[in-house]
Amino acid sequence: MQATEPRIDATPRWPDGKRSCVALAFDLDGPTGSAMLDGSIWRNPAYFTLGAYGPWRALGRILDVLAERGVRATFFVPAWVMENWPSQCREIVRGGHEVAYHGYRHEAFWTLTPERQREIMEISTQLFERHLGVRPVGFRTPSGDWSAETPGILAEFGVRYSSSMRGDDRPYVLDAKSGLIEIPARWELDDYASLAYQRRPDFPAGLDRIASYETTLDNWRREFDGSHDEGLCMTTLFHPKVSGKPGRIALIEGLIDHMLAAGDVWFATGSEVADWWMSSGQASA
């Protein structure tokens, strides 16, 4: 893989001279993931509902918050979730948001052969078309990483950008051959880091507590403040099943209100950011 190194002193330019960019993103994982891949989730109905709560209940709450504030976002959706909650997922598109690839059942792409990765992309493409009538152009790798072949496979399916890596706080050309633009996310902006807690399976193992909500919101606001000060691009790794709950939704509201109060922010979907990065000539910076 060949990565093009952006110049360290390159301050991004955003549409209409906005100071910084925010590409809010939610991973609508539902009950997909390792327990579904190894089949154990079918012997753990309570654990299934923990994930199902995301598309079934929490998603609507998040969509309401975004609509009230006139802010659009990107939802990375495993195709299995769309297959099982199609009407909820259609609300994402109806709200003007972007949907993008996130595996079929949240597979760890770095463990898969190129053939299997292609099959997952093929199934996902068909399901997005059948249920939502869209052809996604974005991808966030489930479970952290991918293999050397993945960027080329994504390009075969018309993917133009990824939000999977950690190499910058601006968009960058991830892979010169496939032309993929990367919109990097960071663990500091993953709600799991502060708010995930569950039993059987225990998570986090050996640390049965969560951060205070006040501290969590303060952390997120500070991440935005830093990004905004430097004129960067910030995206999020929020999960409806984790932060789209009655008490926690106030954190999402508080963060977006803080951004809106700062002003001069370009709120965009992932594809809009990728297209801007290419068309404004910054992809070769």
Return residues touching Zn ion (CB under 5 A).
Answer: 27, 29, 142
Give the separation between CA 141 and CA 119, rounded to whole angstroms.
Answer: 15
Among residues 29 and 272, whose Cβ is nearest to Zn ion? 29
CB of 77 to Zn ion, least distance (A): 9
Among residues 59 and 232, whose Cβ is nearest to Zn ion? 59
CB of 116 to Zn ion, least distance (A): 18
Beta-carbon count within 10 A of 246 CB: 9
Among residues 6 and 270, whose Cβ is nearest to Zn ion? 270
CB of 142 to Zn ion, least distance (A): 5
CB of 147 to Zn ion, least distance (A): 17
Give the separation between CA 61 and CA 95, rounded to whole angstroms.
Answer: 12
Among residues 54 and 151, whose Cβ is nearest to Zn ion? 54
Beta-carbon count within 10 A of 130 CB: 12
Give the separation between CA 285 and CA 276, rounded to whole angstroms.
Answer: 13
Residue number of the CB closest to Zn ion reads 27
16 secondary structure, DSSP code = G
Q: Which amino acid is at 155?
A: A
Give the separation between CA 285 and CA 12, rounded to whole angstroms.
Answer: 9
CB of 78 to Zn ion, least distance (A): 7
Among residues 28 and 180, whose Cβ is nearest to Zn ion? 28
Q: Which of 159, 92, 76, 86 is nearest to 121 (CA)?
A: 159
Among residues 164 and 271, whose Cβ is nearest to Zn ion? 164
Query: Could you tell me which residues are beta bridge partners of residue 76?
Result: 27, 100
CB of 106 to Zn ion, least distance (A): 6
Cβ within 8 Å of residue 9, ≥6 positions away: none
